Amino acid sequence: MASVIEQRGYFTSLPRNYYVSPEVFETELERGLRRQWLYAGHISQVRDTGGYFSRLVGPESMIVTRDDEDEIRAFFNVCRHRGAQLCPSGTAGRAKQFVCPYHRWSYGLDGRLLGAPGSPDGLDFDYRDWPLHEALCDTFHGGIWVWLGDPAEAPSLRETLEPMVNDLAMLERVRPERTKIAHQETYDIKANWKLLLENNCECYHCAGAHPSLAATCDYAGFFTPRDEEVAKLSGPQRHFPLREGMKTFSMDGEWVSRKPLGCGFVPDYSCGYINVPFFSGPVYFADHGVHLDLTPIDKDTTRLVCQWFVHEDAVESEDYDVEKLIGVFHVTNIEDGELAALNQRGVNSHRFVPGPNSPTREPFIKAALEKYLALMDDAA
């Protein structure tokens, strides 16, 4: 494993084949995406019984709902009759049951088969044998996460994510479970998902590629000092470092919501976590939060979903303006998409050989790729 990205004392990205091979991509879908907790959404999307949404989680279309017992459940969006999707991916609403639009088979909020026209329960088959396929589902500080593989192989979600949090006490103070999604954007990017992963794991490119970030973001805060003594003097690293005098992450450093999160109006407050290698994670400031999530579509297409959060009691146009709320991250997401597509076009060349990465400005790339290779058992 180490020989793939470590050589001559430095580390590189992966060999070209990992970014262009259909076979590698299929292995990632079949093995990798079923061996990691994947983000599905936020509890604010299913506050009440019967609330549901459907979305792509990894390679699978899923239905996430809250059942009559107040449990959040995640079902594969596949009718047990002949496989039609029950809900168009990307839809949301409130339901008492899910009815297949093809042959009208119906299912309860707990996934039980309730009806199959022309075949009363027990006549042709036993309804108990044909519930919706269910995925293991759990929550972490308001986020809903799904395990697509064998539930017996799933590690604890809390034990998986807690070590990723930069400051657990700060995250608990924010109270992410008391937020709601104020806006969501979806970006389909013509690049292999691992190029987006690497991009999101470094800010080496930020100064030259993201002028909108310059007003509030302290790029150097993402860099790792070479000298251990300097590292000690730098103090605890914020999850998302802001420039001196900036209150929050916005175009001008001013608050974007008049209603603070649970921590109150604390300037330069940031906490969060990142789960890799299938990149997903939120960052919370004192007045709002942002969650980025990558979904591989095919070997050279990746879907980036970005959600912006405000306090659950915040009122649009009264407490926050969507355009101001999403400003910096939306522009940055577009710029990152263009950079990743540019990267993919170069990687497609047979002359591409990965070069040395910076140990101080790109160290998290190495950590993320090592997790990727461990997850895949280097099968690719």
* Higher-confidence position of 81 and 212: 81
* Higher-confidence position of 235 and 137: 137
Mean pLDDT of 318-329: 97
The residue count for the chain? 380
pLDDT in tens, 25-36: 999 999 899 999
Mean pLDDT of 325-340: 97
pLDDT in tens, 181-233: 999 999 999 999 999 999 999 999 988 899 988 888 888 788 876 555 434 43
The per-residue pLDDT of the chain, averaged, comes to 93
**pLDDT value of residue 1:** 44
**pLDDT value of residue 24:** 96
Phi-psi group of 82: left, alpha or beta (phi > 0 → left; psi -120 to 50 → alpha; rest → beta): alpha
Residue 16 has pLDDT above 60, yes or no: yes
**pLDDT value of residue 230:** 37
What's the rounded Cα separation, in Å, for the pair 273 and 291?
Answer: 10
Q: What six digits make up the tokens of 208?
A: 């030259």
Instruction: For residue 291, give the nearest of 183, 367, 366, 189 by alpha carbon.
Output: 183
**pLDDT value of residue 233:** 38
What's the rounded Cα separation, in Å, for the pair 6 and 369?
Answer: 11
Mean pLDDT of 74-103: 97
| Residue 257 near residue 310, CB atoms below 8 Å | yes
* Higher-confidence position of 74 and 359: 74
**pLDDT value of residue 22:** 97
The dihedral through the CA atoms of 222, 228, 230, 232 has a sign that is positive
What's the rounded Cα separation, in Å, for the pair 331 and 328?
Answer: 5
Task: Look up residue 65 and give its amino acid.
Answer: T
Mean pLDDT of 131-135: 98
**pLDDT value of residue 9:** 77
pLDDT in tens, 249-306: 999 999 999 999 999 999 999 999 999 999 999 999 999 999 999 999 999 999 999 9
| Residue 201 near residue 368, CB atoms below 8 Å | yes
**pLDDT value of residue 290:** 98
**pLDDT value of residue 378:** 58
What's the rounded Cα separation, in Å, for the pair 34 and 135?
Answer: 10
**pLDDT value of residue 227:** 52
The dihedral through the CA atoms of 177, 180, 181, 182 has a sign that is negative
**pLDDT value of residue 2:** 46
Q: What six digits make up the tokens of 94?
A: 């409130």
**pLDDT value of residue 239:** 85
The pLDDT > 90 percentage for the chain reads 85
Mean pLDDT of 365-375: 93
Residue 53 has pLDDT above 80, yes or no: yes
- Residue 145's φ and ψ, nearest 5 degrees, are -125, 145
pLDDT in tens, 143-169: 999 999 999 999 999 999 999 999 999
Residue 65 has pLDDT above 70, yes or no: yes
